[in-house]
């Protein structure tokens, strides 16, 4: 029986200086992607990815196009080896990469959109007012209860439901800090504030969705050639209308990553390939299921290992 394969695309937090450098230096398919990104954005994105500085790479307005570009470069070399996906999914920002992979968005259009998305997110909440935190070792029902209790100090809600035991919350800083204190008191294995520039995937991001809607009016979305599992609903779609709607709704809604992976498992996926920098998603998949093969493509070594595992 043929194994069903899903390509997974990382989001913000997977960036690191040096990402994509090895692939771009040795693989023409990757090099072309970085050259196109530099041309479309009118900036030296490639050198920012390859050499930093890290502080600049960490700015949301730069991080988002940088991760998208590195992911599509990795996808290019993987596809050049003959790899194909049966399904795609992306974590937050990664949903744009997934739509490029599925043939719904052109790479240059996706680049322009995520550059603006990053800018709008950076501007949405004044620095220091918002925050995010990771709660590990407590289930989602407990997280909802903690957030409800902390909400008397401001917005506080689940932002990334990453696995049965890991949820990231977002909102106003005092409320998020209170939820962290409560989580520690209620037996969480870990509860830590995250070094992020904005409180993503909560209602404070609603103005971003409104601005993105204007951007999307000038962006062409095509029906998908490969089914996507959306962040907001954890449902499959090949409709360009549904995919576009999902991108707008995910800005101020939680990323239902655990449910998305479970949906793919229900569809018979037994192999996941993380395409792009880092191995964050690989780790989350392991928390959800131990019964599947998990591969990644971020550099030459992982490319060769994955190509061998895929029989290419």
pLDDT digits (tens, 9 = 90+) for 36-83: 999 999 999 999 999 999 999 988 899 999 999 999 999 999 999 999
Say what percent of the chain tops pLDDT 70: 100
**Which DSSP state fits 203?**
G
Active site residues: 92, 201
pLDDT at 266: 97
Which segments of the chain belong to CATH 3.30.70.250?
130-196
State residue 123 phi and psi, 5-degree precision.
-85, -15
Say how far apart CA 219 and CA 215 lie, in whole Å.
7
**Contact 110/97 with Cβ under 8 angstroms?**
yes
Mean pLDDT of 237-247: 97
pLDDT at 1: 58
Of 56, 208, 66, 58, residue with least CA distance to 123: 208
Residue partners of 169: CB distance under 8 A and separation at least 6: 132, 133, 135, 143, 146, 147, 156, 157, 158, 159, 176, 179
Which segments of the chain belong to CATH 3.40.366.10?
4-124+204-309
pLDDT at 306: 97
pLDDT at 127: 84
Q: What is the pLDDT of residues 210-220, one digit of tens each?
A: 999 999 999 99
Of 169, 195, 166, 172, residue with least CA distance to 180: 169
In DSSP terms, which residues pair with 294 in a beta bridge?
272
The predicted model scores a pTM of 0.96
Quick one: tokens of 215? 């951007």
CATH architecture of 130-196: 2-Layer Sandwich (3.30)
Q: Does the 4-124+204-309 domain belong in CATH 3.40.309.10? A: no
Per-chain mean pLDDT for the chain = 96
Is the pLDDT at 147 greater than 90, yes or no?
yes
């Amino acid at each position: 029986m043929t194994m069903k394969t899903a390509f997974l695309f990382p989001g913000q937090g997977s960036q690191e200086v040096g990402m994509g450098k090895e692939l771009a230096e040795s693989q023409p398919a990757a090099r072309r992607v970085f050259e196109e990104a530099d041309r479309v954005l009118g900036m030296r994105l490639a050198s920012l990815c390859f050499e930093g500085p890290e502080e600049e790479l960490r700015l949301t307005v730069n991080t988002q196009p940088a991760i998208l570009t590195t992911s599509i470069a990795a996808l290019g070399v993987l596809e050049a080896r003959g790899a194909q996906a049966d399904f795609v999914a992306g974590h937050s920002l990664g949903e744009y990469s997934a739509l490029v992979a599925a043939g719904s968005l052109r790479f240059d259009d996706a680049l322009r959109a995520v550059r603006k998305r990053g800018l709008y997110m950076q501007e949405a909440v004044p620095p220091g007012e918002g925050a995010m935190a990771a709660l590990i070792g407590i289930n989602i029902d407990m997280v909802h209860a903690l957030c409800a209790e902390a909400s008397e100090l401001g917005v506080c809600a689940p932002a990334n439901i990453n696995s049965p035991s890991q949820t990231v919350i977002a909102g106003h800083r005092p409320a998020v800090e209170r939820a962290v204190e409560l989580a520690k008191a209620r037996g969480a294995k870990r509860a830590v504030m995250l070094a992020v520039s904005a409180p993503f995937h909560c209602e404070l991001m609603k103005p971003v969705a409104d601005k993105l809607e204007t951007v999307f009016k000038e962006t062409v979305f095509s029906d998908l050639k490969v089914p996507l599992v959306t962040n907001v609903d954890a449902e499959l779609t090949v409709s360009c209308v549904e995919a576009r709607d999902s991108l707008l709704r995910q800005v101020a809604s939680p990323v239902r990553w655990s449910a998305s992976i479970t949906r793919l498992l229900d569809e018979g996926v037994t192999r996941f390939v993380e395409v792009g920098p880092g191995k964050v998603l690989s780790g989350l998949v392991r928390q959800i299921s131990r019964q599947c093969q998990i591969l990644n493509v971020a550099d030459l070594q992982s490319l060769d290992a994955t190509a061998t595992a895929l029989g290419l």
